[in-house]
Amino acid sequence: MSPDDPARRQEGARRLTPARVLDVDGLLEDPENRIVVCCGSGGVGKTTTAAALGLRAAERGRKVVVLTIDPARRLAQSMGIDSLDNTPRRVKGVDDAAGGELHAMMLDMKRTFDEIVESHADPERAAAILGNPFYQSLSAGFAGTQEYMAMEKLGQLRAKDEWDLIVVDTPPSRSALDFLDAPKRLGSFLDGKLIRVLLAPAKVGGRAGMKFLNVGMSMMTGVLGKVLGGQFLKDVQTFVAAMDSMFGGFRTRADATYKLLQAPGTAFLVVAAPERDALREAAYFVQRLAAEDMPLAGLVLNRVHGSGADRLSAERALAAAENLEDARIVDQDGGKAGVRNDPGNSPDAYGSSEPTGSTSGGPDPDASPEAPDTAGDAADTTTEDTAADGSDTAGDAPAEAPADASERSVDGLAAGLLRLHAERMHLLAREQRTRDRFTARHPEVAVTEVAALPGDVHDLAGLRDIGARLATGRPELPEPGA
Average confidence (pLDDT) per 10 residues, the chain, 482 residues: 49 51 94 93 86 96 90 71 81 93 88 85 87 82 73 86 92 61 64 56 47 48 50 71 68 80 92 92 90 92 88 90 70 49 50 43 46 44 44 48 69 89 92 92 93 85 92 63 46
pLDDT confidence of residue 116? 83
pLDDT confidence of residue 391? 46
Check: CB of residue 282 under 8 Å from CB of residue 288: no
pLDDT confidence of residue 53? 96
pLDDT confidence of residue 47? 87
Element (H, E) at 421: helix 393-441
pLDDT confidence of residue 474? 62
pLDDT confidence of residue 365? 43
Check: CB of residue 143 under 8 Å from CB of residue 109: no
Read off the amino acid at residue 394.
Answer: A
E-state strands within 22-159: 35-39, 63-68, 89-90, 101-106
Calpha distance 206→224 (Å, rounded): 21
pTM for this entry = 0.71
Check: CB of residue 16 under 8 Å from CB of residue 299: no
Residue 426 burial (CB count, 10 A): 12
Check: CB of residue 30 under 8 Å from CB of residue 20: no
Q: Are strands 101-106 and 89-90 parallel, antiparallel or unpaired?
A: antiparallel
pLDDT confidence of residue 420? 92
